[in-house]
A and B are shown apart, each in its own frame.
Chain A
Amino acid sequence: MKIAVLLDGRRSRDGGGAGFVAATLRGLGHAVRVESVATEPRPVLDRLAGQPVDLVVSLVRPGGARPRLAFELAGALDLMRIPYTGVGPQGLLVGGDLARARQVARLAGVPVADARGGKGRALSVLVLGNRQPEVFPACECVGRGARRTWRRAGLSPDDAAHVAAMARRIHGELDLGGYHRIDLCLPPGLPPGGAPCFVAADVRPMLDPALARALYAPLDPAALLRRILSLGLRRPRPPEWAVAEDGERA
C-alpha cells in the first residue's frame, strides 16, 4: 500500500513513535512517505490530493498550539475521501479534549475519577476496533514522568471483566474507533460488580516499541500496526463515500 504518515511538530521532535511507525510500515512492505503538518498543512493536503495514497496514518495529536488540528485534518480527510487510521473527527473532538471527554462520560452515567486519577490503581487499556472493539489486558502505570512505564496489571477475572466492559462503554460514549487508550482508576475496596472510574482517553496514543511491548501485548509491534492499518481501511465510512464510489464506477 501507499501510506502517508502525518506528524505534528511535537511528534517530529520526539522522533520515537513516528520513526518506529515509518520503519515498521516499510518493513511490512508498504511505500511510506512522512509528512509534517507542523507549520503548514496546506501543501500536505495538496500532495495527498495530487499523489494519492491508500491510507493516511495520522500521528497528529490533539493539543499544542492548534488544539483541534487533529480534528480538522480528520474532517478534511473525510471530505477528501481519503481513508485514515485511528479515531474519527467526532471522537477527536470529544475524546481529545480532556474536560469535554470527562463531561460527556459523566453525562452518560460513567463514573469519573478526578483528573489525577483519584485513589486506587491507575490502569490503562488499549482498545482496538470500530463498532465491536477489542479491549486488551489492562496495564498498570508505574513510576513518574520520564520513568513512567506500564506493566501488566494482575486483576481478578471479575475486575478484568469490569475494566473491559467500562472501556467498551467509554469507546461508544465518546464515539471512538480505530485504536486508542483509555485510562481508568480502580478504587480500593471495589465491591464485586463495582465499576472502575474513567480518568482520560488518549485518542492518539504513542506507538513506540517500548510502549507497544508493554501496553499492546500480546501483539508484537508489527502485528499491532497491521491491525491498525486494517481498522483504518475498514473504518465506517460516511454514507456519501459509497454513493460517490458507485457513481464513479458507473
Chain B
Amino acid sequence: MRVTFLLDDEQVPEDDPGFDLPYDAASPQMEHHVIHATRGLGHDVRVFPLGADAHGTVTRIAAGRPDVVWNLVEHRRGDRRVAVHVPSLLALYGLRCTGSSSAALALTCDKALATRLVGDLGLSVPEGFVVPLGTARAVGPMVFPMIVKPRYEDGSEGISLRSIVRTKEALLERARFIHQSLAQDALCQRYIDGRELSVGVLGNARPEALPAREMVFGLRHAGGPAIATELAKASKTYSEKWRITYERAALGSELARELAQFAVEVYRALEITGYGRVDFRLDEAGRPYFLEANCNPDLRPRVFGVIAGWAGLGYGALLQRILDLSMAGDGVSGT
C-alpha cells in the first residue's frame, strides 16, 4: 500500500526528512514510531510536512497517487482550529486519509460544544460555561471548585494547577490568562475530584472500546497534583517527582462495561472514525464524567500501543487496523 504521512512541520527532522535513519525505540517522537512501524509492515511510505503552502503540499501528495494519507497534522502554526480542515482539503482532492473527518475534528476541537453534545445523549458532563474572549462575564453555574481551561486546545495545553479555582475572582483571573496567552475563549467547568481515565476506541460504524487506562497521581493525597496538567504530560522529571504513572485501570466489570459503552456513544455522537480516545473523570461515587474526546490521540507504542496490547492487538496490527479502517467506506467524502 502507498502510504503518505502528512505531519506538522516541526515534526519533520531537517537531517532526515524521509525518516530513513534507523529506528530508535527510545525516540520520544510519535511520528518516528508510527512511520517506521508502518514501513516495517511493508508499505511504501512517503513523508510530507504540511508546510506554509497547504495547497501545494496536497497537490504534490496527490501526484504521488497514495492509497491513503496518514494525517498526523495537529496544528497550523499553533492553531488547531485551522488544522482540523486538513481532511477536508485532502477529500476535495479525492484523497483518503486515516482517522476522522474535518467535521469530527471540528466538533471535538470545540470542547464546549462537544460537552453539550455529549450531555444531550443523557451522559454525565460537568456543568459549565464559557467566558468568551474579550469579555469578563461569568454567566453560568458557579459550582466551586471549578477548572478553567482553553476551549480549543489539546494535550492539556493551558492547564496547570492554577486552573482549579475556588472563587469567582480567581475564575475570571484564570479566564483572562487564557484569553491573553492563547487568544481564545475560556471554558469553565465544575471540577470533578476523582480518577482520570481514558478509553481508546477503534472503528467506524461499529466502534470498539479498548481497555481503560488510568493516569495515576501517586502523591495526590500528599499535596501532589491530581489533574492532567501540561507539565504532567510533558515533563518526565515532574512526573517522576510526583509519581504520576499510566496504568491499566482497575475497574469492576460493570463499571468497565459502562465506561466502554459511554466512550462508544461519545465516539459516535462526535462522528469520530478510525481511531480516537475519550477522556473521563470518575468521581468518588464512581460516576464517570466526560471530559473531552481526541481524534488524534498519542499513537506511540508506550501510549496507544500499550492500550491496544491490552486488547491483544500488537503495535503493527494496530497501525494496520487504522489503515484498513481508512480504506473502508468511501473514505474521501470528508464528511
Contact = CB atoms under 8 A, between A and B. Distances in A.
A pairs with B = yes
A93 B56 contact: no
B123 to A, nearest CB: 13
Given A75-B84, A238-B79, A103 B120 contact: yes
Interface in B97-127: 102-103, 106-107, 110, 113, 116-117, 119-120
B55 A93 contact: no
A1 interface: no
A73 B102 CA distance: 11
B333 A93 contact: no
B82 A79 contact: yes
Nearest to B334: A72
Interface string B71-92: 0000011110110111011011
The interface residues of chain A, by DSSP majority, are classed as: helix
B255 interface: no
Contacts of B79: 238-240
Nearest 7 A/B pairs, CB to CB: A75-B85, A240-B77, A72-B88, A75-B88, A79-B54, A68-B335, A240-B79
A103 B85 contact: no
A89 interface: yes
B92 A45 contact: yes
B54 A90 contact: no
Contact of A67 (B59, B86, B120, B335): B335
A240 B76 contact: yes
B53 to A, nearest CB: 8
B52 interface: yes
Given A240-B77, A243-B78, 11 more contacts: A46-B55, A71-B88, A73-B88, A76-B88, A79-B76, A80-B55, A80-B89, A93-B107, A238-B79, A239-B78, A244-B52
26 contacts: A46-B59, A49-B55, A66-B333, A66-B335, A68-B333, A68-B335, A71-B102, A72-B85, A72-B91, A73-B92, A75-B84, A75-B88, A75-B102, A76-B85, A80-B55, A89-B88, A89-B102, A89-B106, A103-B120, A107-B117, A108-B116, A238-B76, A238-B82, A239-B183, A244-B77, A247-B52
Interface string B247-276: 000000000000000000000000000000
B88 A104 contact: no
Interface string A62-102: 00001110011101101110000000011001100000000
A58 B78 CA distance: 27
A250 B109 CA distance: 31
B278 to A, nearest CB: 19
Interface of A: 41-42, 45-46, 49, 66-68, 71-73, 75-76, 78-80, 89-90, 93-94, 103-104, 107-108, 238-240, 243-244, 247
A45 B56 CA distance: 11
Contacts of B335: 66-68, 72
Contacts of B92: 41-42, 45, 72-73, 76
Contacts of B155: none
Contacts of A94: 113
Contacts, number: 94
Nearest to B132: A172
A107 B85 CA distance: 25
Contacts of A49: 55-56, 59
A45 B119 CA distance: 38
B93 interface: yes
Contacts of B64: none
Chain B interface category by residue count: 20 to 34
B224 interface: no
B17 interface: no
Contacts of B82: 78-79, 238, 240
Residue of B56, B84, B92 contacting most chain A CB atoms (<10 Å): B92
B93 A42 contact: yes
Contacts of A80: 54-55, 89
A29 B218 CA distance: 69
Nearest to A106: B120
A68 B92 CA distance: 11
Contacts of B102: 71-72, 75, 89
A73 B56 CA distance: 16
Contacts of A243: 77-78
Nearest to A41: B92
Contacts of B55: 45-46, 49, 79-80
A73 B120 CA distance: 29
B94 interface: yes
Interface string B31-44: 00000000000000
Contacts of B52: 244, 247
B231 to A, nearest CB: 24
A93 B103 contact: yes
Contacts of B93: 42, 45
Contacts of B77: 239-240, 243-244
Contacts of A79: 54-55, 76, 82, 85-86, 88-89
Nearest to A90: B106
A78 B56 contact: no
A243 B75 CA distance: 13
A230 B8 CA distance: 33
A131 B55 CA distance: 29
A89 B82 CA distance: 10
